Amino acid sequence: MLNKKLIIKVSGLNSKEDVNILKNELNKIKGIKSIKVYLKNKKVILNHVDDINILELKKGIEDLGYKYIGVE
């Protein structure tokens, strides 16, 4: 399986605690292998092996109270 990279924008991330909360939630999504979150530019970089469900990703982010802006 080849690793794929997905970059998304998320607003509402303001602290390391937000980063940890978001990472814990996204790690539950099947196929995600690693997550990097950049507070300064509000980017989340996901490395994954399978096609991931964007709607599941969006729901997971928004259920935590953050705003899913979209894929870059």
Domain boundaries, the chain: 4-71
- What is the DSSP secondary structure assignment for residue 59, as one 8-state letter? H
> What pTM did the predictor assign?
0.89
In angstroms, how far apart are the furthest CA atoms of the chain?
Answer: 34
- In a 3-state reduction of DSSP, which class is residue 56? helix
- CA geometry: angle 19, 58, 64, nearest 5 deg: 45
Q: Strand pairing partners for 8?
A: 44, 71
CATH class of the domain at 4-71: alpha beta
Of 68, 63, 70, nearest to 21 by C-alpha is 63
pLDDT in tens, the chain (72 residues): 678 999 999 999 999 999 999 999 999 998 899 999 999 999 999 999 878 889 999 999 999 999 999 999
The pairing of strands 43-48 and 32-38 is antiparallel
> What pLDDT does 1 receive?
60
